[in-house]
Amino acid sequence: MGPNYIAFLKIWNQIVLVIAIAAALVGFFIIISHILKAAALKDSKKKYDYLRDNDTKKIFYFIFLVALGLTLYANTLETQTVQIHIVWFFVRLFVTICIGTLIIYLSYLLLKYAYPTVLSRKLKKWRYKPRVNPRTGNKMKLLSEEEEDVHLDEGMQAEENVFSVDYDVWVDPDTNDVHIEKYPGHLEAEQCNSCGFMTMKQIKEEIITPPTEHSEGETEKFYQCTYCKSKRSKVLKIARLEPGGYKLPDHVMFKEDERILGITLEIHIGDGKSKIYEFTSTEQARDFLKEFSLETMT
């Protein structure tokens, strides 16, 4: 081949090698800073939230960038053969892109279907690690679903029943100090009965009987596995409505804690719609709820 082609190959090798190294370095930077950040979070709940939101994503970025780097690097190899004819240049390009794409696609599938089982085990460890009372240094005890209802007001209980929000209540056995953590149950997939992956997700919810001030209601939740597509549903009770409407759990959650900077209120309507409101104080939020009607929501 002509001298132009040889010169082009030389520049190609230099540029592609630099990009390959840069991609791999960025990949390693992402995964290492992810590991360090998770390790630096001492609060178990914060670590839980961080891992739930970031772990799978960061691992995928890492694999993607390293695979990209390797694919590019492979395009600087076998230069002797490629120099013979330009056709070999495109053969190399095609083959390496195929292999690179395959690696990325396979890791995407593994992360989507197999990794949630591993991640869920990791998350459980942080969710159930005994909390320490910052005031006394005592180890706190996690209450069971039945015991914890005493510490949750009816609003929180109803939320637990209807919207798959989970509250974990930790109690210091010596001082009775209470520490409550909120987990968004409906965002987390459960284990599928058919295929065993942690890929069972709630797809919709229908309220069969709405609750009144005098009687409990009933709601049916529908689940579908994102992997094997099998479906199931379950019927759950909704707690009775509180006379007088909404109530904020300020006596439990916001007492004596001046570090709280804001309150986020998420209002759910029956058909799965919800809206988020932000407030700077419990007073502000309480006033809002007094005035609140469904018409103001739209």
Residues lying near Zn ion in the complex (CB under 5 A) are found at 192, 194-195, 225, 227-228
Smallest distance, Zn ion to C-beta of residue 118, A: 17
Smallest distance, Zn ion to C-beta of residue 59, A: 22
Rounded Cα distance, 117 and 123, in Å: 10
Smallest distance, Zn ion to C-beta of residue 234, A: 16
- Chain-centre distance of CA 196, in angstroms? 20
Q: Which of 193, 246, 200 is nearest to 221 (CA)?
A: 200
Q: Which of 105, 142, 125 is nearest to 51 (CA)?
A: 125
Q: What six digits make up the tokens of 113?
A: 């279907």
Rounded Cα distance, 130 and 142, in Å: 8
Residue whose CB is less far from Zn ion, 118 or 252: 118
Smallest distance, Zn ion to C-beta of residue 196, A: 7
Where are any strands of DSSP class E within the chain? Answer: 141-142, 165-171, 178-184, 200-209, 217-225, 231-238, 263-268, 274-279
Contact 200, 223 (CB under 8 A): yes
Rounded Cα distance, 239 and 111, in Å: 37
Residue whose CB is less far from Zn ion, 192 or 285: 192
Cβ contacts of 38 within 8 Å, gap of 6 or more: 47, 50, 51, 55
Smallest distance, Zn ion to C-beta of residue 195, A: 3
CA distances from 274 to 55, 178, 294 (A): 27, 29, 11
Q: What six digits make up the tokens of 72?
A: 């590019």
Smallest distance, Zn ion to C-beta of residue 116, A: 11
Smallest distance, Zn ion to C-beta of residue 76, A: 43
Smallest distance, Zn ion to C-beta of residue 119, A: 17
Residue whose CB is less far from Zn ion, 133 or 199: 199
Rounded Cα distance, 226 and 223, in Å: 9
Within a 13 Å sphere around the CA of 262, how many CA atoms are in the beta-carbon half?
6
Rounded Cα distance, 228 and 298, in Å: 37
